Structure 1
Amino acid sequence: MITSIARWLGTSLDARKRSAQRATLKDLASIRRPLLRSIEDCLDQQALRLRKKIESARTPQELWMLRNDAFQIISQQHDQSVAAERINALIQSFEGWLEPKQLVRIK
């Protein structure tokens, strides 16, 4: 019954358990890599500061919050459509670590 309720709500029990548990260093690295890749062609001081923040983030939630900074930096280097595309591509890396309602795409 709980599984069917979770499915009806659009979440899985595995994702809920995973978001409640602490991310290991390996888990964080698998989230961190795509975030760093999204800004790899951005070389200004803001991007360097963001890389340091990404490297020092200790939870998936902290990394998720840094995507706004990444969006701004990518927008300045390229444009908003490129930034939205790159940031939206990150969502799959965060699935299971955040509540699904937090994983909102940029339009």
Structure 2
Amino acid sequence: MTNPAQGQAPNPQCPTGSKTMTDLLALVDAERTLVNWLLRQRGACLADIVAHTQIELAATEAMLNDLIATGFLVYDVSADPAVYRPNLVSRKPRTVPDQLWNAMD
């Protein structure tokens, strides 16, 4: 298994880019549950993730690498130990156009 810190190339078939909470709905249950847990934890090391998921190490690494390749997670090597962090963006609040406000006056 390739460690994400070694610069694994993302899968070109997987869409990357900014992910939102809505994008989590497209994930399979195990991946969605893991990302939700990581959001609450604000990131976790591999040992903590394996302990939480109770899935064997190789399967957990494969799931994490898939989530990194699709843009849901980032691997932060600056932390000690290195951690996997969620990579989701907040949606901008919707604004009402000025024309609508003017029409209401």
TM-score range, shorter chain: 0.3 to 0.5
Q: Given the two structures, how large is their TM-score scaled by the length of structure 2?
A: 0.32
Question: When you count strand as a share of all residues, which structure comes out higher?
Answer: 2
Higher-Rg member (1/2) = 2
Q: Given the two structures, how large is their TM-score scaled by the length of structure 1?
A: 0.32
